[in-house]
Copies of this chain bind each other. A is one copy, B any other.
């Protein structure tokens, strides 16, 4: 699942750019999901007086509204992008307005000073209103999603990649870089996504079907914990695959 973010001030053409990208990706037969970051304090999707809102007021911690054609799961907290991404199983996940995540970014703007403010070293493209009047900014292409979505999505296909783990450098650094530095280098073509060693190791863990990432150190602990038990059993061989499925249950 490739992930990227579109960032820019209000009225810079952010949502319009995303709509065009979604339509073009769908035309290319990809599945697409989105995450919208909402930057006003009072945001509540549910409306006062609805039954689900009453559940919330009464103290429910997680609320789901299930209709005939949709199921809305309302977490009463701000979840991290990795946790959110774990619910998705699509080809492209587009983040709108998410600027604090280490993913390739498109900046939308309607004037040059706004590019400057939104720009960071994970930006790979300029779009939005300003792309109607300029083609390039400091060597990066500026492409309008209205006029040339095909070229825009070509670059997205080429540049974007799977979410990096976003570990603190002090905890990992297994590839030799911080995640941000690796992201930057991948975008420049100096490194590949595969240079990140997390998740490609020898052990994968899923909880309710969702992959849980582990730093190499934790992978090793889990592996040793399992081998400590399994290694004593009849039928154990010291090489090959080990698969474990378990049902976890509090009231066990």
- Which residue numbers of A lie inside 8 Å of B, CB to CB? 1-2, 15, 18-20, 22-23, 26, 31-38, 40-41, 43-46, 51-52, 54-55, 57-79, 82-84, 86-88, 90, 94, 96, 98, 161-162, 193, 198-210, 212, 214, 218, 221-223, 225-230, 233-252
Contacts and interface: CB of A to CB of B under 8 A. Distances in A.
Given A45-B70, A70-B77, 20 more contacts: A1-B250, A2-B251, A31-B61, A33-B64, A34-B52, A34-B64, A37-B66, A43-B70, A62-B90, A66-B84, A71-B78, A72-B72, A72-B75, A198-B247, A202-B252, A207-B237, A212-B230, A238-B249, A241-B245, A243-B245
A90 to B, nearest CB: 6
**Number of copies of this protein chain within its complex:** 2
B65 A45 contact: yes
Nearest to A225: B225
* 7 tightest A-B CB contacts, nearest first: A43-B67, A22-B58, A208-B240, A203-B246, A33-B62, A202-B247, A19-B58
A24 to B, nearest CB: 10
Contacts of A59: 22-23, 26, 32
A242 B31 CA distance: 27
A38 B82 CA distance: 30
A74 to B, nearest CB: 5
Given A36-B65, A64-B36, A65-B38, A199 B247 contact: yes
A18 B60 CA distance: 10
A92 to B, nearest CB: 9
16 contacts: A19-B55, A32-B61, A33-B61, A36-B64, A36-B66, A38-B65, A45-B46, A71-B79, A86-B209, A199-B249, A200-B247, A203-B246, A206-B242, A207-B240, A208-B240, A238-B250
